[in-house]
Amino acid sequence: MEQDGRTREYVLTIFERLTFEQLPYYLHLMAHLAARGITVPAPIPARDGEILRALKGKPATIVTRLPGASQLAPDAEHCAEVGDMLARMHVAGKDYPRQQPNLRSLPWWQQTEAEIVPFLDPQQRALLQQEIAHQAAFFGGADYAAMPGGPCHCDLFRDNALFEEDGKGHHRLGGFFDFYFAGNDKWLFDLAVTVNDWCIDLASGELDNTRAQALVRAYHAVRPLSATEAAHWPDMLRAGALRFWVSRLWDFYLPREATCSSRMTRRISNASCAGALP
């Protein structure tokens, strides 16, 4: 499609599971961020100004197509670009008026625990129950309540960002996509989820300190972390790991299509021994 004399590409998405009632938070968040210079898929309004339409009775939208491809083996330079854009995204979302909690936060972990513990061996069951109890105490504390937050991606894994080559052997971040797990949460949680994927050695489950430091420092340069956030960084790394461990266990045993959950178990164990911010 041509616009302003240039050829642009767009993506039509037809939603099979998300409903007309659920989608406005996500789509308007993407529009809000795009309008503030964050490179995310921007929903295209129809002639009547609406960005959510019905197609054959199903919700549908058209968004701009981001350039580039996923970088599944990121280095410190990639991670720094992700940290910078994540912080800018958080700042840009501060005045987003719609509210929706992160639907995969503590209440969902606690609800899902009862459904999955019958499938776990005693060691897994003990770790899961201990970690949920730890997070419940953390989430209920004054320090957690004082942490800043707002709209978060909540699922910023390395396959939800695109990089494009600049012609000189370098890769430039082309943007973030797949905002359909987004919700209002603590920004530190969003950062921890991102570090837990982008900065992990996939074979061992250990944090790669070089990548982690690059990502967090780039983030901190845009939105400086408070002393309280720094003090609770290990707790948030554990929370981020727990969120996806619970999700993978739920998908696997109930059953749903999923990947092995053992790497998430190692991340919780490793994060519990972590010190200050990398």
Which of the four pLDDT bands, split at 50, 70 and 90, describes residue 5?
very low
DSSP 117: G
Average pLDDT on 170-193 reads 96
SS3 3: strand
Same domain, 187 and 108: yes
Whether the predicted model's global pTM rises above the 0.85 cut: yes
Residue 278 lies in a domain: no
pLDDT of residue 6 exceeding 80: no
Instruction: Give domain status of residue 22, yes or no.
Output: yes
Q: Select from 14, 44, 64 the last residue of a domain.
A: 64
Domain match, 55 and 133 both = no
Question: Smallest Cα–Cα separation from 86: which of 7, 170, 199, 165?
Answer: 199
Phi, psi (degrees; rounded to nearest 5) at 157: -80, 170
Residue 277 in any domain: the answer is: no
Note the pLDDT tens digit of each residue in 145-172.
999 999 999 999 999 999 998 777 778 9
Instruction: Say if residue 145 is in the same domain as residue 10.
Output: no
Q: Are residues 82 and 176 in the same domain?
A: yes
H helix intervals, 18-151: 23-35, 76-92, 106-116, 122-139, 142-146
Rounded to a whole number of angstroms, the distance between the first and last alpha carbons of the chain is 45
Q: Which residues of 14-45 are buried (b: 16+ CB within 10 A; e: fewer)?
A: ebeeeeeeebebbbbbbbbbbebebbbbbbbe
Same-domain check for residues 37 and 126 = no
State the number of CA atoms in the 13 A half-sphere of 211 facing the CB: 18
Residue type present at position 82 = V
Alpha carbons 241 and 132: distance in angstroms, whole number: 11
Looking at residue 170, its pLDDT comes to 77
The answer to whether 60 touches 54, Cβ cutoff 8 Å, is yes
Domain extent for 26? 2-64
Per the structure, how many domains does the chain have?
Answer: 2
End-of-domain residue from the set 11, 36, 64: 64
49, part of any domain: yes
121 and 250 in one domain? yes
Assign residue 16 the CATH number of its domain: 3.30.200.20
Last residue of a domain, one of 17, 44, 64: 64
What are 89-118's pLDDT values in tens digits? 999 999 999 999 999 999 999 999 999 999
Tokens of 249: 């266990």
Same domain, 207 and 120: yes
Give me the torsion for CA of 122, 125, 126, 129, rounded to 10°: -160
87 and 56 in a common domain: no
Q: What is the pLDDT of residue 145?
A: 98
In terms of domains, do 163 and 239 share one? yes
If asked whether residues 165 and 250 sit together in one domain, one would say yes
